[in-house]
Structure 1
Amino acid sequence: MSLANIVDCHIQPDFAECIQDVQSGALAEETFYINVEPSAYKVDEHRVKVTNQASCVKYDAGEANLFEQTDSFSFRARLDGQIYKFKKPIRDFSLQPETTLTPNITSVGSYESFESPKYALGEASGKITIFNDRKAQDLTLEGHDSDVTTVRFFPSGQVLLSGSADMRLKIWSTLDGSNPRTLTGHTGPVTASAIIDRGRNVLSSSRDGTVKLWECGSGDAIHTFTRRSNPKDAINTMILVQVEPELNTQTNKSEYGTAGKTFLAGHDSGTISYHNIYSKDSMLEIPNQFLAPCRTIATNDPQQNSFTIYAGYENGILAQWDVRNPSKAVTFNSWNKGSAITAMHYQTGRLFASYEADSAIYFDVDSNSKSFSSPTYLVSKDFRIAAFACSGEQDGTIAAGEEGLCALY
């Protein structure tokens, strides 16, 4: 199988403002750049001139090149015979600095509700901020000592779970900001979390090589999962997956809703382990085909029985796997700089991925296809995106990251 290469491409972050200035008549003409980087050692800079002719905006991208707007937030360029697509934010509600330092957002979570949606942003400082549907700040939660690596709302929206590089998880009230429970037991940074069913039980993964199943009422870790062959293989990512439930009824009084639940964990070795939460069985291990740590995982629909998973690796490989045939990846591509994939997110037919090279893209996904579509590049001020989350607004996706970046796509 040949390796598809994703070319890095950056459009001037304020290009839309350049277009607006010409469209409004504030300027007669304006230009912006599009940089195409076919390799880590080469940058092809293209200039697009914007003019207003007879109340119609015109673009000149050079001989045989093209630039056009395809909808309110989408743009398309043909440069040297290659097509590049761009998506600007539907809305930008990035955090503003309270001092001279702009916060770096390290995690994002959302509570989708027609009446009162909420958003939570975890920061590198250990602070968590909760916003309401008007993007106005509701609460500030302080209690972690390091990067907040994961934030998850319970189904009620009244409780929040957070995990941090300080090795702790905390359960918060989103009504008054109190912290009734802190979960301790990991001996390495917490890397991911998941809420099971209504939230009596939660999962957490850690760089200590474990995934712990917690009972929230007591704060106890009631089971610890590890890789069979390498129990200390550090875990960078973990996601909850729904499967067909066992016929047996739930019998463990410390568990509720674990039947039919599994999880996937991505390890430093590059292995992906697959575990049944109810039976506690290790179901399979997807091999390290790409000789690099697995940094992030996504599935087509974690709420349904899906056999397709996507894995992002530290060497820039993005792979599609079928758990029914895990001997080798179905297909894969590579970021041309070999830049690590730092976050992935699947939502309504789109697979989002961010890279340490301050780039982020999404693919339109067909689970029956054995290839990736051409990418669409997210316009994100050239700040690295650290995390994605669902948004109930216009079926959008929230992206958050460096310099307080928080935008809806």
Structure 2
Amino acid sequence: MGKNITVAHIQYDFDAVLEEEHENDDGFYINVDRNLNEIKEYRIKVLANNEGVDAGEKNSFEKINSHLYMAQLNGQKFLFNTIKKDYSKMFEGADYTAVDSIKVPTKQFILGTTEGNIKVLDSNFSLEREINQAHAGEITKLKFFPSGEALISGSQDMQVKIWSVKDGSNPRSLIGHKATITDIAIIDRGRNVLSASLDGTIRLWECGTASTVHTFSRKENPHDGVNSIAVFVGTKEQLLESPDIKKRDLEFGTYGKHVIAGHASGVITVHDVFSRRQITQLPSKFTSSCNSLAIDVNDPNYIYAGYENGMLAQWDLRSPEHPVDEFSINEGVRINSVCFADEFLLVSSGLDTSIKFDITRDPKSQHPVIASKAPIFLVSDDNEVNQFCYTPHSESQKEVITVGKHNFFALYNLSSDVFI
């Protein structure tokens, strides 16, 4: 069942305990999940007079930089990344389910909630606008259009809606799906968008007319629910197989685009958006729902998929028979979200685990490799993360927003200029 990722959790306020001037025998805890039924607790004692900590015989705990800490416990290395800014108490009574950000015309953020509300925030995370009851059900996906002047939302109410960021008006509603909307992808400037649903379809919409241009589904099982989609530009070989015609009515920028979909069956399909063909199918390797997937933007032949049974897989679309690599995270516990960001992968697992994996390059083939030996655990108060949003501030500030249940809304700096 692939390589096992040993999961660790550290006391949420451990950094505050470290700053105490007096000796603290209680210190703070680090729990290591040896398996589903066995947890090993380590106590890190804080010594007086800033003399450091006592992690136990042959163990250690140290600060790497302003937000990164490393523990060596029983011969195993664990890394912990603290929160840069916790916004969870900014708004009351919300379980956050969706998030996105944009830099133009100004930096802004959007949040979706279980109640169907949308919050628009400015660059300082202050509330600019709230669209109450935007949907009759939970918001499942939010995205800014590239202009930053509009956003698009999907919901459990089976509808996709377009909103003005400036005044909160709703000029278009895209209606036709027969089950929960699970994901949305925008093509180029946004004249066309794709929406995925548990009804087994991916719809290509023309936003100006709010009409369905085409409906995609898995040809072997058209009712196989779609949990996650991503759009990428096809390779030269794939483009050669596309039809000679390069323009269709009500389509803008679809030529050369492919959409990949993770299904409830665990199967992953790839469709050529322009030619309408299903061109690739990856098998249900784990006989478990593919909950979330992400494209490696540095090499779109590679994708990362998270499954209901806790498996994380890396696939090469050129060799669809089996995964390139596979990992077990909290065996049997669902993976909620997978997000590729720059040169790392973010994974949310179960009720309380969020992990950053660095993506390195194989020295010979230069193919991407998941660096699984020293994953970095994002510190939180046992919060379940529903979605990640990569929002780099600069080269030295690779920031990520996480949102989830119980008002959880936090900003992490995941930069690391230290070789570990």
Q: TM class by shorter-chain length?
A: over 0.9
Shift of residue 305 of structure 1?
5.5
In structure 2, the partner of 1:338 is: 332
SS of equivalent to 2:227: strand
Match of 1:92 among 77, 86, 91: 86
1:301-323 deviation digits (Å, cap 9, x = unpaired): 1xx66101011110011001000
Shift of residue 398 of structure 1?
1.2
User: How far apart, in 2, do the equivalents of 1:390 and 1:249 lie?
Assistant: 36
SS of equivalent to 2:406: helix
Q: Which runs of 4+ in 1 moved over 6 A?
A: none
Matched, 1:51 2:8: no
User: How far apart, in 2, do the equivalents of 1:209 and 1:185 lie?
Assistant: 12
Q: Which amino acid aligns with 1:401?
A: G
Match of 2:74 among 64, 67, 80: 80
In structure 1, the partner of 2:150 is: 159
User: How far apart, in 1, do the equivalents of 2:381 and 2:327 lie?
Assistant: 25
SS of equivalent to 2:200: coil
Matched, 1:373 2:372: yes
Conserved 8 A contact 2:351-2:385: no
In structure 2, the partner of 1:285 is: 281
SS of equivalent to 1:404: coil
User: How far apart, in 2, do the equivalents of 1:189 and 1:336 lie?
Assistant: 27
Conserved 8 A contact 1:95-1:103: no
In structure 2, the partner of 1:124 is: 114
SS of equivalent to 1:193: strand
SS of equivalent to 1:16: helix
In structure 1, the partner of 2:37 is: 41
Matched, 1:62 2:24: no
Q: Which amino acid aligns with 1:33?
A: Y
1:267-305 deviation digits (Å, cap 9, x = unpaired): 11110000011111111100011111100001211xx66
Structure 1 pair 305/254, CA: closer, same or farther in 2 (3 Å)? farther
Q: Which amino acid aligns with 1:138?
A: E
Matched, 1:399 2:399: no
Matched, 1:297 2:289: no
Conserved 8 A contact 1:241-1:305: no
User: How far apart, in 1, do the equivalents of 2:287 and 2:194 lie?
Assistant: 27
Matched, 1:316 2:330: no
In structure 2, the partner of 1:272 is: 268
Conserved 8 A contact 2:347-2:355: yes
Conserved 8 A contact 1:163-1:169: yes
In structure 2, the partner of 1:236 is: 227
Shift of residue 28 of structure 1?
4.3
Shift of residue 370 of structure 1?
5.1
Give the gaps of 5 or more residues in structure 2: 362-366, 413-420
Conserved 8 A contact 1:389-1:398: yes
The root-mean-square deviation of aligned C-alpha atoms, in Å, is 1.7
Count of matched residue positions in the alignment of Structure 1 and Structure 2: 396
Matched, 1:349 2:343: yes
Once the two structures are overlaid, the 10-residue window that deviates more, 333-342 or 285-294, is 333-342
Q: Which amino acid aligns with 1:38?
A: R
Conserved 8 A contact 2:70-2:79: yes
Conserved 8 A contact 1:243-1:261: yes
1:130-154 deviation digits (Å, cap 9, x = unpaired): 1110110111112201110000000
1:107-130 deviation digits (Å, cap 9, x = unpaired): 1111134x6211111111111111
In structure 1, the partner of 2:169 is: 178
User: How far apart, in 2, do the equivalents of 1:269 and 1:156 lie?
Assistant: 36
Once the two structures are overlaid, the 10-residue window that deviates more, 304-313 or 197-206, is 304-313
User: How far apart, in 2, do the equivalents of 1:15 and 1:108 lie?
Assistant: 28
Q: Which amino acid aligns with 2:16?
A: E
User: How far apart, in 2, do the equivalents of 1:307 and 1:401 lie?
Assistant: 30
Conserved 8 A contact 1:122-1:151: yes
Structure 1 pair 181/369, CA: closer, same or farther in 2 (3 Å)? closer
Conserved 8 A contact 2:330-2:349: no
Q: Summarize the alignment of residues 131-150 of structure 1 with structure 2, pairs less than 5 Å apart.
A: 131-142=121-132, 143-150=134-141
SS of equivalent to 1:163: strand
SS of equivalent to 1:106: strand
User: How far apart, in 2, do the equivalents of 1:28 and 1:335 lie?
Assistant: 36
In structure 2, the partner of 1:214 is: 205
Q: Which amino acid aligns with 1:104?
A: D
User: How far apart, in 2, do the equivalents of 1:197 and 1:97 lie?
Assistant: 33
Give the gaps of 5 or more residues in structure 1: none
Q: TM-score, normalised by structure 1?
A: 0.93
SS of equivalent to 1:365: strand
Conserved 8 A contact 1:250-1:256: no
Conserved 8 A contact 1:365-1:372: yes
User: How far apart, in 2, do the equivalents of 1:187 and 1:52 lie?
Assistant: 63
Q: Which amino acid aligns with 2:164?
A: S
Structure 1 pair 207/317, CA: closer, same or farther in 2 (3 Å)? same
Conserved 8 A contact 2:359-2:370: no
Shift of residue 337 of structure 1?
3.3
In structure 1, the partner of 2:193 is: 202
Shift of residue 158 of structure 1?
0.7
Match of 1:104 among 79, 91, 95: 95
In structure 2, the partner of 1:5 is: 4
User: How far apart, in 1, do the equivalents of 2:392 and 2:5 lie?
Assistant: 30
User: How far apart, in 1, do the equivalents of 2:259 and 2:358 lie?
Assistant: 24
